[in-house]
């Protein structure tokens, strides 16, 4: 076996199928999208070269795109500052051996494996103005005739989609943190306990620093997932009312498949990819020193 793995030709044979799939489903579509973004194209007619005009149009002519970009940043902020801390706290509690640890670990992860379409339909029932659970709960505590349409009001429509988007993936990041915490050697905690360190101190001085690579991965997943969010928002509001809950991905979908603006829609799609790539590189840069310290330990 060692002799086989030592030959580059054998390694290439094993890697080639995965490489071809990656090229066919990721690289080639990405390059094609980038090319289309430089043209004016409706799918059947002549392609007119525009250069970077489609990208300039995003910020100078499209009145909906700036608000969509702002919404995606709001969702990203909610994911980073609400979703991830809750996930970390749950992982910290479960990793300390609470009763029913495996049961809670499974329960928290269930929303992750449920389709976003189903999650969207579920939360639409919660936010309905007539028989929605949220309004029923408010009526039970306050005015009996309270009725508010959360998903059709411009001021609350997008925020109503943020709640399930954050809720759905808490279990996902919780499991990532849980696995990372479990991989830390108990010797560190035993030594800290002998020195008289409290649980809060060990969390900030041992757990969080040693989890830097895990936190970086979870942060990238959360941020990029928010910036390219589509299905849940599209199911619940469709980007409405009056484009109030649009995000870049919903605008891209409408331009590509409803208006047949393949050039402009491709520019929006390519912008989302570049946006995710840039933020991923920034996060990687910020965590570089922390990861180096972990590797030394």
Q: Interior CA angle at 276 toward 91 and 166, to 5°? A: 35
Question: What is the longest distance spanned by two Cα atoms in the chain?
Answer: 77
- Please, which pLDDT band fits residue 275 given cuts at 50, 70 and 90? very high
Residue 35 CB partners (closer than 8 Å, separation 6+): none
- What mean pLDDT comes out for the span 272-277? 94
Residue 247 belongs to a domain with what CATH number? Answer: 1.10.3720.10
- Please, which pLDDT band fits residue 232 given cuts at 50, 70 and 90? very high
Number of structural domains the chain divides into? 1
Whether residue 217 lies inside any domain: the answer is yes
Whether residue 107 lies inside any domain: the answer is yes
Q: Long-range CB contacts (< 8 A, 24+ apart) of 278-285?
A: 279/220, 279/223, 279/224, 279/227, 280/220, 280/223, 280/224, 283/216, 283/219, 283/220, 283/223, 284/216, 284/220
Whether residue 224 lies inside any domain: the answer is yes
Give residue-wise pLDDT tens across range 179-215: 999 998 888 888 888 888 888 899 888 899 999 999 9
pLDDT above 80 (res 144)? no
Whether residue 13 lies inside any domain: the answer is no
Whether residue 106 lies inside any domain: the answer is yes
Instruction: Please classify residue 195 by burial: count the beta carbons closer than 10 Å to its beta carbon, then call 0-12 exposed, 13-18 middle and 19+ buried.
Output: exposed
pLDDT at residue 200, as a whole number: 87
Residue 225 CB partners (closer than 8 Å, separation 6+): 79, 169
Whether residue 31 lies inside any domain: the answer is no
Beta-bridge partner residues of 40: 48
Q: pLDDT over 70 for what percent of the chain? A: 95
Instruction: Single out the residue of 261, 263, 271, 267 nearest to residue 227, CA to CA.
Output: 271
pLDDT above 80 (res 145)? no
Region of residue 154 (left: phi > 0; alpha: psi -120 to 50; beta: else)? alpha
Whether residue 171 lies inside any domain: the answer is yes
DSSP for the chain, please give it: -HHHHTSHHHHHHHHHHHHHHHIIIIIHHHHHHHHHTTEE--SSS--EE-TTHHHHHHHHT-SSHHHHHHHHHHHHHHIIIIIHHHHHHHHHHHHTT-TTHHHHHHHHHHHHHS-HHHHHHHHHHHH-TTT-HHHHHHHHHS-TT----TTTSHHHHHHHHHHHHHHHTHHHHHHHHHHHHHTS-HHHHHHHHHTT--HHHHIIIIIHHHTHHHHHHHHHHHHHHHHT--HHHHHHTTT-STTTT--HHHHHHIIIIIS--HHHHHHHHHHHHHHHHHHHHHHHHHTHHHHHHHHH-
Whether residue 223 lies inside any domain: the answer is yes
- What mean pLDDT comes out for the span 58-84? 94
pLDDT at residue 162, as a whole number: 95
- For residue 78, give its domain range: 63-296
């Amino acid at each position: 076996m060692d002799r086989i793995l030592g030959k580059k030709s054998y390694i290439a044979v094993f890697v080639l199928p995965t490489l071809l799939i990656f090229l066919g489903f990721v690289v080639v579509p990405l390059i094609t999208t980038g090319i289309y973004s430089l043209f004016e194209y409706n799918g059947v007619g002549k392609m007119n070269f525009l250069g970077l005009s489609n990208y300039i149009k995003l910020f100078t002519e499209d009145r909906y795109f700036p608000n969509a970009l702002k919404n995606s940043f709001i969702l990203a902020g909610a994911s980073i500052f609400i979703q991830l801390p809750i996930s970390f706290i749950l992982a910290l509690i479960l990793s300390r051996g609470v009763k029913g640890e495996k049961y809670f670990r499974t329960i928290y992860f269930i929303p992750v494996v449920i389709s976003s379409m189903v999650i969207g339909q579920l939360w639409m029932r919660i936010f309905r103005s007539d028989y929605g659970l949220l309004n029923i709960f408010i009526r039970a505590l306050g005015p009996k005739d309270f009725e508010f349409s959360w998903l059709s009001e411009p001021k609350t429509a997008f925020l109503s989609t943020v709640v399930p988007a954050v809720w759905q993936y808490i279990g996902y990041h919780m499991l990532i943190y849980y696995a990372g915490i479990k991989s830390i050697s108990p010797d560190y905690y035993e030594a800290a306990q002998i020195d008289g360190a409290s649980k809060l101190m060990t969390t900030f001085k041992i757990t969080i620093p040693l989890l830097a690579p895990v936190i970086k991965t979870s942060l990238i997943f959360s941020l990029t997932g928010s910036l390219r969010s589509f299905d849940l928002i599209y199911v619940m509001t469709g980007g409405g009312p009056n484009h109030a809950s649009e995000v870049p991905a919903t605008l891209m979908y409408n331009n590509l498949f409803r208006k047949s603006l393949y050039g402009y829609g491709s520019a929006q799609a390519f912008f989302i990819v570049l946006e995710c790539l840039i933020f991923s590189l920034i996060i990687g840069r910020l965590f570089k020193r922390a990861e180096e310290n972990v590797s030394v330990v």
